[in-house]
Amino acid sequence: MPATATYALVMFAAGIGIPILAALNANLGARIGSPAAAATILFVVAFAGAAAVMLATGGARALALAPVQPKPLFLAGLLVAFYVLSITWIAPHFGVGNAVFFVLLGQLVAAAAIDHYGLFGATPSPLTLTRAGGIALMAAGVALTQKVQLS
């Protein structure tokens, strides 16, 4: 299987995982009465999983390189925390589908800007009229699957 097909399948699986993560963690947060506690539990489990993969693949030596990396790169952890906390708090009130719709919309807009400007070390890929139309079409398609009422 070509590498691009493998990449696409892995990211498709990751995409499937996002609404499942949202539903499971929102349910846990509602059951225990604290979205923040549910998010903390998620991160403990995620840390254990990531640490196990790191150890299994010999990545532990890479940790020695972390202190000399540009500090803004570590903001990614705060963005993950924001996502998990927000989806855990909002999904039970707004619906998993509606919450994920706006996550997807934000991802489309941010990905287009990152690619267009080559931000954060990304390979530049100009936002052409065709790409913008495709993003709008994707956003419209996702919107059609949801009943979003902003009131």
Q: What is the pLDDT of residues 68-107, one digit of tens each?
A: 999 999 999 999 999 999 999 999 998 888 888 889 889 9
Rounded-to-integer distance, Cα 58 and Cα 65, Å: 14
Torsion region of 95: left, alpha or beta (phi above 0 gives left; psi -120 to 50 gives alpha)? left
pLDDT along the chain (151 residues), means of 10: 90 91 95 97 97 95 95 95 95 88 89 95 94 89 74 59
- Percentage of the chain lying above the pLDDT 90 cut: 75
**DSSP run (H or E) holding 27:** helix 3-32
Q: What is the reported pTM?
A: 0.82
